[in-house]
Structure 1
Amino acid sequence: MRAALISITGQPRDRGGAALLVAGKSVAERQLEFALAAGCERIIAIGSLPDVITLRHAAEDAGAQFLAVGNSHGLLGTIRAADELMVIAPGLLPDERAALPVLAKSNVVLVLPASSGVAAGFERIDLERAWAGAAVVPGGLVERLAELPADIEVTSALLRVALQSRVPEARLSDQAITDGSWVIVGEGGDAETVGQAWLDRRLKSNASQGLSAFLAGKALRPLAPWFLERKQSFASLAGGATVLLLGAVAASWFGYAPLGLVLVVLGALVIQLALGLLPLLDGRFRPPQRRASLILPTLVDAALVACSVLAIEGTWLHRLFPPAVLLASLYLRPPEGMPRIVHAIGDRALLAGVFAIAAVFGYAEPAIMVAGLAVIGLNAARIGAVHG
């Protein structure tokens, strides 16, 4: 079994004495995410209430075992000789995926050049090396703590024991320090700057993703810390979007097609906000929930088609044909790939907004038909350009 040691007492705190938060979570909770991604099934925390309780809930919610001890001697007897213990330095904000394969190997001490590592706040080993703040040591070395005072700094002591026992070393790239993905957050550190850098590595707004995704990404940057502090934020956003989409269909059914399409715009934007939040909630080391990524956009498409059908006059077959052609042209991608402009004009919030304006003046059907023909034409032009 692999366990992780997280020191609560040594973690950075803000000026008020509370645990310093990085994008809505304490540094210890960020270390927990990393430890779980590295295969740790058990979390051992050194510290006192109430921080230990917060970490306990987070660990148990993730399915890991949890144990809290008061000092270094509390570790004695908790780790078997055949087990592995991942030691994480207090204040380390580990956000570098490249470190995971290295730490997945049995027994390793991550090191940095002393010149860059010490300047960045990492513990010096000697004139040439600094500890990168993470190591995996054999469980049998933990019993060596019995030879030391109980009130020592446990992580540093285990580092020295590991080095004396010639545990293999692996060097972490300097780039991890440069890009801020592997940093030591000091006491009273600038949580806002560190948190913003953490968000920037996850939120990459790109206009080519579509207008609604671009706008949602821009809105999420200032709102992300607020969302991350609330466990049900994703469920609330997804539920609110579903209510908006159901309201859109109801409004269109009762003859208010422009209003219904406006509600589709709002529902699509809220869903993009929820989808943008997923990578932040799942962490950097786990893929986003694919089921939600598939189901939520499908709800938008269903509402857009329903409202478009209800915005057109005539028989049901006549009403259904233009929205069905449009949706099929958006989903049936040519082997050559879909042109970027199709991604742009195929944005569901943009389409719903245009259709809403057209519906006000009684031109919903022509607008839907023109959109469908435009997508078909652009895809055909793409095929012709590739094979021409």
Structure 2
Amino acid sequence: MAFPGTANAAQGAGLRGYLQIGGRTLLRHQIGLALSLGAKRIIVMAEGISGELVSLQHVAEAGGAQFHVVATARGLVPLLPPEDDVIVLGDGLLAMPEAFRDLIEQGPVVLTLPVETALPLGFERIDINNAFASAMRIPGRIAAGLADLPPEWNAQSALLRLAVQARVNMRGVPVAMLGDGRWSMIRDEDDAHVTERQWVRLHTSPADAGNGSLGEILAMAFVRRFGPSLLHAGTRPSVIGIAAGVTGLLGGGLAWLGNFATGFLLLGLAWLIERIGSLLGQVERDSLLASGLARRSVAFFHLLIDAGLVSVAAWRSELPVTSALPFGLNVFAPLLLVGGARLARLILAHTRGAHWLEDRLALGTLLAIVSIVLPFDAAIMLAVLTLLGTCLLMLQFGTAPAVAKAQAGGSPNPQLTSRP
């Protein structure tokens, strides 16, 4: 959703604005919120220009918005035309983008919280029952009243009073958002450390919690435990992606030299490292919008991991290489195994436990164990038969999602189906 000529006023020039969550300042997070709403003008209240504000200017301009720094409330007046929508973000506010957009997009509104809950957390009082939730959307014409106020007035408080006098609708922010970290007021470093853990957890919570595979669970646990430290240290997802590639190459090289079990394990580890990088990239993209590397090469990397597993399995095969056997026979069963896992993942997409079919850490570990303790080729062939048999049974008895839908009477092409 975009507002032509939208302005965003963010209070954050003091210590709160420069406190960091995930290696980025609160101001940077607030600019991500503004850009996600299509803001065309971003205004920051500050006493002067700093290096951080210059970098934020580049971010705002890259997102298609003008960037201004003003020192007084009166300085806002010429930047807020009457026909504009003004979105005000309070000093220290950190909100989840989805929750923020759902509450602020529905026309002019002042967001509120129960005063008894919000005041101890640092939110500003409005009246006897309500506290300001540090976010509002008002018509630009209301901001014209700033010109009549003394210059020493706080811009946020002044705009709040003007909005209340203009009888802008009030809408309550669910108190539950304060408890789970979707709506937070960051006042100092201690608040930032506590909220940061919740922030990472919220951004890495899967929609289908409970269906994660071993590799996914380990990647999520690593990001939740060490993700904030990595982001504060400036470790970007692209660096982790490079580490995953190097690990995969090392695994392939060791397998070429005959260390097959180690090769399988390192290829699985490369997949796990890539998943960690993808999760960190997802956190940055979801929260900061214009930041974080869009990892379009993830699918290609997974194909390379699969190709590596097939290659190592072919090298490990004990089938004799003679003219009596077809060329490439040692590749056939591993190729069926990996390709069958991909196909079964599509067929069983909504089935509990289907995540395991794309977990290359688990597959690499199993192949490493099989290569040490079992007849390798026989075990691979048995795994292929088991995989294909499971898919055939589920299709035969209608338990796969696509079949269940068809049996329920749904037409796959309703536009092309006609009745006499």
Which TM-score bucket, shorter chain as reference?
0.7 to 0.9
Find out whether 1:373 has 2:385 as its counterpart. Answer: yes
Instruction: Indicate whether 1:246 and 2:249 are aligned.
Output: yes
Aligned to 2:362: 350
SS in 1 for 2:124: coil
- The 8 Å contact of residues 342 and 357 in structure 2, kept in 1 or not, is answered as no
Is the aligned partner of 1:183 residue 2:188? Answer: no
Query: Is 2:21 the partner of 1:22?
Result: yes
Aligned length: 383
- Aligned letter for 2:20? L
Provide the rounded CA distance (Å) in 2 between the counterparts of 1:306 and 1:254: 13
| CA–CA separation in structure 1 for the residues paired with 2:337 and 2:210 | 22
Post-superposition offset of 1:34 = 1.7
The two structures, once aligned, show a CA RMSD in angstroms of: 2.9
| 1:131-210 matches, cutoff 5 A | 131-204=132-205, 208-210=211-213
Distance (Å, rounded) in 2 between the aligned partners of 1:302 and 1:227: 30
Q: 1:304 aligns with which of 303, 309, 320?
A: 309
State the alpha-carbon separation in 2 of the partners of residues 251 and 316 from structure 1: 24
Name the counterpart of 2:34: 35
Counterparts in 2 of 1:1-388, with a 5 A limit? Answer: 1-12=5-16, 19-47=18-46, 48=48, 49-95=50-96, 97-204=98-205, 208-229=211-232, 233-284=236-287, 289=294, 291-312=296-317, 313=319, 314=321, 316-333=327-344, 335=347, 337=349, 339-341=351-353, 343-344=355-356, 347-360=359-372, 363-383=375-395, 386=398
Residues 61 and 260 of structure 1, relative CA distance in 2, 3 Å threshold: farther
Structure 1 residue 146 displacement after superposition: 1.7
Instruction: Quote how far apart the aligned CAs of 1:61 are.
Output: 4.4
For 2:83, the aligned partner's letter is A
Structure 2 distance, partners of 1:132, 1:27, is 16
Deviations 1:136-165 (A, max 9, x none): 122233332121222321111111111222
Amino acid at match of 2:376: A
Q: Bigger shift: 128-137 or 72-81?
A: 72-81
- What's the CA shift for 1:33? 1.8
Q: C-alpha deviations, 1:61-93, integer Å up to 9, x for none? A: 444321112222222312222222211111111
Q: Which amino acid aligns with 2:193?
A: E
Shift of 1:54: 4.1
Shift in alpha-carbon separation, 1:316–1:146, aligned structure 2, 3 A = farther
Q: Is the 8 A contact 2:35 2:289 kept in 1?
A: no
Cα distance in 1 for partners of 2:350, 2:77 equals 60
Q: Does 310-319 or 145-154 show the bigger shift? A: 310-319
SS in 2 for 1:12: helix
Counterpart of 1:91, as a letter, is G
Q: TM-score, normalised by structure 2?
A: 0.81
Distance 2:391 2:145 in 1: 68
Distance 1:346 1:6, change over 3 A: closer
Alignment partners' CA distance in 2, 1:106 and 1:76:
21
Q: Which amino acid aligns with 1:3?
A: A
- Structure 1 residues 241-250 or 332-341, which shifts more? 332-341
AA matched with 2:311? A
Deviations 1:277-326 (A, max 9, x none): 12211124869957344333233222222222232243542122111211
Q: Residue type matched to 1:42 in 2? A: R
1:86–1:137: 8 Å Cα contact kept in structure 2?
yes
Does structure 2 conserve the Cα–Cα contact (< 8 Å) formed by 1:60 and 1:66? yes
Shift of 1:9: 2.5
Cα displacement (A) at 1:123? 1.2
| Per-residue deviation, residues 112-151 of structure 1 (Å, max 9, x unmatched) | 2333333433211111222111111222333321212223
Q: What's the secondary structure of 1:53's corresponding residue? A: helix
Report if aligned partners of 2:348, 2:354 keep a CA contact under 8 Å in 1.
no
Amino acid at match of 2:12: I
- Measure, in 1, the Cα distance between the counterparts of 2:158 and 2:137: 13
Q: Unpaired runs of 5+ in structure 1? A: 14-18
Q: In the TM superposition, what whole-angstrom CA distance separates every residue of 1:24-48 from its partner, at most 9, and x where no partner exists?
A: 2222222222222222232211113
- Whole-Å separation in 2 of the counterparts to 1:310 and 1:236: 30
Q: Quote the Cα distance in structure 2 between the aligned partners of 1:45 and 1:90.
A: 10
Give the TM-score normalised by the residue count of structure 1.
Answer: 0.87
Aligned to 2:416: none
2:42 match: secondary structure: strand
**How far has the Cα of 1:227 moved from its partner?**
2.6
Q: Distance in 1 between matches of 2:35 and 2:80?
A: 17
**Contact between 1:106 and 1:136, CA under 8 Å: does it hold in 2?**
yes
CA distance in 1 between counterparts of 2:105 and 2:154 reads 25
Contact 2:220 2:279 in 1 (8 A): yes
Q: Residues 187 and 215 of structure 1: is their aligned pair in 2 closer, same or farther, counting only changes over 3 Å?
A: closer
- 365 and 59 in structure 1: CA distance in 2 versus 1, 3 angstrom threshold: farther
Shift of 1:337: 4.9
Render the CA deviation track for 1:202-232: whole Å, top value 9, x for unaligned.
2237663221111111112222112323556
Unaligned runs of 5+ in 2: 405-420
Greater CA deviation, 200-209 or 90-99?
200-209
Name the stretch that deviates more: 190-199 or 3-12: 3-12
Out of 248-257 and 63-72, give the one that drifted further. 248-257
Q: Does the CA contact (< 8 Å) of 2:254 and 2:260 recur in 1?
A: yes
